[in-house]
Chain A
Amino acid sequence: MTEETALQTTPLHSQHVEAGAKMVPFAGFDMPLRYSGQVEEHHAVRRAVGVFDVSHMGEIVLRGPGADAFAQWATPNDVGRLRIGRAHYSSLLDDDGRLLDDLLVYRRGENDLLLVVNGATRAADVRHLGELLGRWEGAAVELDDQSDRWALIAVQGPLAEGVVTAACERLGGPPEVAALRYYGFTETAGGQGVIVSRTGYTGEDGFEIYVAAEQAVTWWRTVHEIGAARGLLPCGLAARDTLRLEAGMLLSGQDLGPHVTPLEVGLGWTVKLDKGDFVGRDALARQQRDGLERRLVGFELVERAIARHGDRLSIGESGGEDSLAGEVTSGSWSPTLERGIGLAVVEGRRGFAAPAAGTAAEIAVRGRSVAARIVALPFYRRPTG
């Protein structure tokens, strides 16, 4: 092993080590990759409930008389329509409309917003927001990176509601958790408090619990105690990756990043071109008008094989007028579908139509051409009702 100095640890690090988790460096943190096994953990979330330490994520607070207007300018989704107690999915863009990161925006009050960003990009995001504040001519905004003060515990799966409700009752968490709708949140009054939102990165029903770093171990253990009888397993980054991929959710720095715009990766619904000016708006409006030259697609392998990040994908006769070619940005075995699945960004002539579901594709997997087909996202949708 090479020396991995200066790795940060989350407030739950000792719990992972005690549980015998395999630890890996991720986003600058020493994080659990898996505990019992990736596939077992994956199935626990699909069938029962799993708990994840995602405290590496960043929490950035925007407050002050100009906070709402600033966030409306700094992000492409419509903060003006975001009500108190609701969160929405959005992103940070550069002036060319390219994706720096994806994020959640929580509205805790008027001019009181919480941005939740990815761990690996947190420092760059804070710098970017600081630069935007330097260009900002509106009312005052306070930018407060609170990431070190928060732990984040995700409880995900069809049995998550019962576990989180019981944990909140036992530990004095926020009330009415079971009544939350998707992307709703509730929080305790006073102090740093506890925030519980009905959000996640797995494609299942589930909750994310934001607690003060000092309270993290108590919450983690309580969730385990309550969940034990319901089949709860602690889950690592490996299961998190296959769960989010099956759910068609993008990974920042891999499926989305400065190589693409939101329109190109299927996030057009988070871009509100009619809401007024925002960072990247002109570039995106132009792209919308002129048509796309690249698109994110989902694929599955027809043969028994697994395509990996970086493998080349092609559709149609090479050099042909309608041919598309690109690169796999996420590829894995799907434990639920039991086949290779993935995402790729393909390029073609400007304005090309998204390839229809069922379109044949080829992927070069370790020097061998493997048959694939385009499929609609998400790969997996949870049963409802």
Chain B
Amino acid sequence: MVPNDRRYSEEHEWVREEEDGTFVLGITEFAQDELGDVVFVELPEVGAEYGEGDEIGTIESVKAVAELYTPIACRVVEVNQKVVDTPELLNEDPHGDGWLARLEVDDPSRLDDLMDAVAYEQFTES
């Protein structure tokens, strides 16, 4: 259930390295299930720069609100406008079409501090 092509944060974000060297950020299946039906997604501006752990957006479901954090220092190069227009995408396909932002990262080695799929699965089960 948890894809092993990416890394995971304790805040239930995932980051995946793309072939072009950028990184895509999203939230996990576990996170969307905790939130329930998502109705708004607020994403950062393209070009904005953030430090590790900064809040970069907000996800609101009918029931709750969650801040979106970046687990790694980054510059935002693209956001997924489709998920802003169709927030259900985040519930339907959080690991795929429901991705949130594409990032440039100066120090990708920091990603090694994040969990792999096995560790994340254990983290969510504990």
Interface residues of A (CB under 8 A from B): 1, 22, 33-34, 37-39, 238, 241-242, 304-306, 308, 332-333, 335, 366
CB neighbours (8 Å) of A306 from chain B are 39-40, 60, 65
Quick one: given A37-B91, A38-B36, A304-B40, are A366 and B65 in contact (CB under 8 Å)? yes
Partner of B65, one of A22, A34, A37, A308: A308
A-B contact count (CB 8 A): 35
CB neighbours (8 Å) of B40 from chain A are 304-306
User: In whole angstroms, how far apart are the Cα atoms of A241 and B64 in the complex?
Assistant: 13
User: In whole angstroms, how far apart are the Cα atoms of A333 and B91 in the complex?
Assistant: 16
Interface residues of B (CB under 8 A from A): 33, 36-37, 39-40, 58, 60-63, 65, 91, 126
Q: State whether B62 touches A39 (Cβ < 8 A).
A: yes
User: In whole angstroms, how far apart are the Cα atoms of A308 and B39 in the complex?
Assistant: 14
CB neighbours (8 Å) of B61 from chain A are 333
CB neighbours (8 Å) of A238 from chain B are 36, 62-63
CB-nearest residue of chain A to B63: A238
Partner of A333, one of B58, B62, B126: B62
> Shortest beta-carbon distance, B13 to chain A, in Å?
19
CB neighbours (8 Å) of B36 from chain A are 33-34, 37-38, 238
User: In whole angstroms, how far apart are the Cα atoms of A308 and B33 in the complex?
Assistant: 20
User: In whole angstroms, how far apart are the Cα atoms of A50 and B44 in the complex?
Assistant: 39
CB-nearest residue of chain B to A335: B62
User: In whole angstroms, how far apart are the Cα atoms of A15 and B43 in the complex?
Assistant: 39
CB neighbours (8 Å) of B91 from chain A are 37
Q: State whether A37 touches B33 (Cβ < 8 A).
A: no
User: In whole angstroms, how far apart are the Cα atoms of A242 and B39 in the complex?
Assistant: 14
Ranked 9 nearest A-B pairs via Cβ:
A333-B62, A39-B37, A333-B39, A38-B37, A38-B36, A38-B62, A306-B60, A37-B37, A238-B63
User: In whole angstroms, how far apart are the Cα atoms of A39 and B39 in the complex?
Assistant: 10
Q: State whether A38 touches B33 (Cβ < 8 A).
A: no
User: In whole angstroms, how far apart are the Cα atoms of A256 and B114 in the complex?
Assistant: 45
Return 19 A-B CB contacts under 8 Å, by A number.
A22-B33, A33-B36, A34-B36, A37-B37, A37-B91, A38-B37, A38-B62, A39-B37, A39-B62, A238-B62, A238-B63, A242-B62, A304-B40, A306-B39, A332-B62, A333-B62, A335-B37, A366-B58, A366-B65
User: In whole angstroms, how far apart are the Cα atoms of A241 and B126 in the complex?
Assistant: 29
Q: State whether B60 touches A333 (Cβ < 8 A).
A: yes
> Shortest beta-carbon distance, A163 to chain B, in Å?
25
For the complex with contacts A39-B62, A238-B62, A241-B63, 17 further pairs of A-B residues with Cβ separation under 8 Å are A22-B33, A33-B36, A34-B36, A37-B36, A37-B37, A37-B91, A38-B36, A38-B37, A39-B37, A242-B62, A305-B40, A306-B39, A306-B60, A306-B65, A308-B65, A333-B60, A335-B62
> Shortest beta-carbon distance, A2 to chain B, in Å?
11
CB-nearest residue of chain B to A338: B39
